[in-house]
């Protein structure tokens, strides 16, 4: 039987499994299986050649019982309402497991940003904000960057929002450039949080990190910082990295400075001097200590899971592992750091950014990092302790922690 790769079906199946362990009240379970609100937009954009192209776009506010909905906006040609629904559900569990007072949401635009000029991207970003502006706000729903969006896009969106409202409100969006109220340390935050979880997992497994081997799939904001930090902070030997065009391997390890200089010149990681070209699937199946999927969903599936050789899979991407693959990896004794725990560093520093914007008083990068480390370490051990107490795998344990917190807030509000 072929696997169902619909991300929302996967997110619901993961919740169902946790609900069974929790013996969750069926009414609560039914409520938590669905998003609270979703918005569908058509955004007309004047393209450089003068014609108007209409883009389909979404914003889903999955759950806001614990605080304003929170989550990024993706620009992707394969975006669908179901990917956005799944990602918004995972944001709900992520803010809960990280214990920041926020709910979960996500946005997406069906577009191919690689084929668009800077001017077209600016007009699309401003158009998205015009469409979504009446539904978001510091106390309602706070967007952020995600796949193919970045601080510049957040800056255009913030500006459009402030032009519409006539007021400065930097906390309406996070991941902004620092000059507009962004937080120190927000750029590397997702990767940094992931390193904390790898450090804690390695302690549990008695795996010495210095010189341990690592492969990283994806070289966007998360993957490129993961390479830098894995190398500089944890002393890992990163033997393979990839981007959407292909993967490279070097037995002696790849230097992040060399790879990023090459990427700036060549527009891809392929071709770094002294490296061998391999395929993305070969990268995933390398005999490394730590595998870091840092690209998009559905990368580890029933088709390749039994060939994965890593000891730790640290999921910096959202949804990289399907339920069938999950089962196979668990049977093989691979330690999974599940996505909404492993990559919670980004939204944690986004929360710090909102706090700083509210106070109008800004923290040093050292302070951000110290507080991020505390939050991630606490979250990791809450999940680990749950896994031990209940005898379940780490992903189920993360769900048990998160769903309990969200359900408690839903119950306290009297919604169910
Ligand atoms: N897009 C990031 C994520 O998936 C960050 C979200 C945020 O900062 O709101 O966690």
Catalytic residue among 17, 106, 176, 375: 106
pLDDT above 80 for 1: no
pLDDT digits (tens, 9 = 90+) for 225-244: 999 999 999 999 999 999 99
- Identify whether the C-beta of residue 298 lies closer than 8 Å to the C-beta of residue 87: no
Does the pLDDT value for residue 336 go beyond 90? yes
Ligand 1 atom 6: residue of nearest CA = 71
pLDDT exceeds cutoff 70 at 357: yes
**CATH level 3 topology of 1-34+183-344+366-416:** Rossmann fold (3.40.50)
> How many of the other CB atoms lie within 10 Å of CB of 33?
14
Q: Is the pLDDT of residue 28 over 80?
A: yes
Interior/surface letters 212-235, b for 16+ CB within 10 angstroms, e for the rest: bbbbbbbbbbbbbbbbbbbbebbe
Say yes or no to pLDDT of 245 above 90. Answer: yes
Note whether 1-34+183-344+366-416 and 35-180 share their fold.
yes
Consecutive H or E run containing 241: strand 237-243
One DSSP character per residue, 57-77 reads EEEEEEE-SSSSEEEEEEEET
CB environment 48-66: b (16+ within 10 A), e (fewer): eeeeeeebebbbbbbbbbb
Residue 268 annotated as catalytic = no
Q: Whose CA is nearest to atom 8 of ligand 1?
A: 347
Decide: 63 in ligand 1 pocket, CB within 6 A: no
Indicate whether residue 243 lines ligand 1 (CB < 6 A).
Answer: no
How far apart are the C-alpha atoms of 237 and 215, rounded to whole Å?
A: 9
**pLDDT-based confidence at 275, cuts 50/70/90?**
very high
342-368 average pLDDT score? 98
pLDDT of amino acid 41: 98
Mean pLDDT of the chain: 98
Residue 337 and residue 198: Cα distance in Å, rounded?
Answer: 8
CATH number of 35-180: 3.40.50.10860
Residue with tokens 């999955």: 62
| 70 annotated among ligand-binding-site residues | yes
Q: What confidence tens digit (pLDDT) does each residue in 316-328 have? A: 999 999 999 999 9
Please determine, for residue 182, whether its predicted confidence score (pLDDT) is greater than 80.
yes
Q: Domain map of the chain by residue range?
A: 1-34+183-344+366-416, 35-180
**pTM score, two decimals?**
0.98
Please identify, by atom number, the ligand 1 atom nearest to the C-alpha of residue 349: 8
Give the mean pLDDT of 119-138.
98
pLDDT of 282 above 70: yes
Residue 72 Cβ < 6 Å to ligand 1: yes
Averaged pLDDT, 345-368: 98
Q: Band the pLDDT of 2: cuts 50, 70, 90.
A: confident
């Amino acid at each position: 039987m072929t696997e169902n790769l619909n991300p929302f079906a996967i997110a619901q199946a993961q919740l169902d499994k946790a609900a069974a362990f929790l013996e969750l009240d069926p009414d609560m379970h039914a409520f938590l299986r669905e998003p609270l609100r979703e918005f569908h937009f058509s955004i007309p954009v004047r393209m450089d050649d003068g014609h108007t192209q209409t883009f389909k776009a979404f914003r889903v506010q999955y759950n806001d019982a614990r605080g304003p909905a929170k989550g990024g906006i993706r620009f992707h040609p394969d975006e669908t309402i179901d990917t956005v629904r799944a990602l918004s559900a995972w944001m709900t569990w992520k803010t809960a497991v990280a214990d920041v007072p926020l709910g979960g949401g996500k946005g997406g635009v069906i577009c191919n940003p690689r084929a668009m000029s800077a001017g077209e991207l600016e007009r699309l970003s401003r158009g998205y904000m015009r469409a979504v502006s009446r539904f978001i706000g510091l106390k309602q729903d706070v967007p952020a960057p995600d796949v193919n969006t970045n601080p510049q896009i957040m800056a255009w969106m913030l500006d459009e929002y402030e032009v519409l409202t006539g007021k400065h409100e930097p906390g309406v969006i996070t991941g902004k450039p620092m000059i507009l109220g962004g937080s120190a340390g927000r750029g590397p935050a997702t990767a940094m949080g992931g390193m904390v979880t790898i450090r804690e997992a390695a302690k549990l497994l008695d795996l010495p990190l210095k010189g341990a081997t690592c492969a990283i799939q994806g070289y966007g904001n998360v993957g490129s910082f993961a390479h830098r930090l894995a190398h500089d902070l944890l002393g890992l030997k990163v033997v393979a990295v990839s981007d959407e065009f292909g993967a490279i391997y070097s037995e002696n390890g790849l230097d992040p400075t060399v790879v990023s200089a090459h990427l700036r010149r060549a527009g891809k990681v392929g071709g770094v001097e002294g490296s061998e070209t391999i395929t993305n699937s070969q990268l995933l199946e390398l005999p490394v200590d730590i595998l870091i999927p840092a690209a998009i969903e559905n990368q580890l599936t029933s088709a390749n899971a039994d060939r994965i050789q890593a000891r730790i899979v640290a999921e910096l991407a959202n949804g990289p592992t399907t339920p069938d693959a999950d089962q196979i990896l668990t049977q093989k004794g691979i330690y999974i750091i599940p996505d909404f725990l492993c990559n919670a560093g980004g939204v944690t520093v986004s929360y710090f950014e909102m706090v700083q914007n509210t106070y109008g008083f800004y923290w040093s990068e050292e302070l951000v990092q110290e507080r991020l480390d505390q939050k991630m370490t606490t979250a990791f051990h809450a999940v680990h302790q749950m896994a031990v107490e209940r005898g379940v795998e780490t992903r189920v344990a993360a769900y048990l922690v998160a769903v309990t917190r969200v359900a408690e807030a839903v119950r306290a509000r009297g919604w169910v």
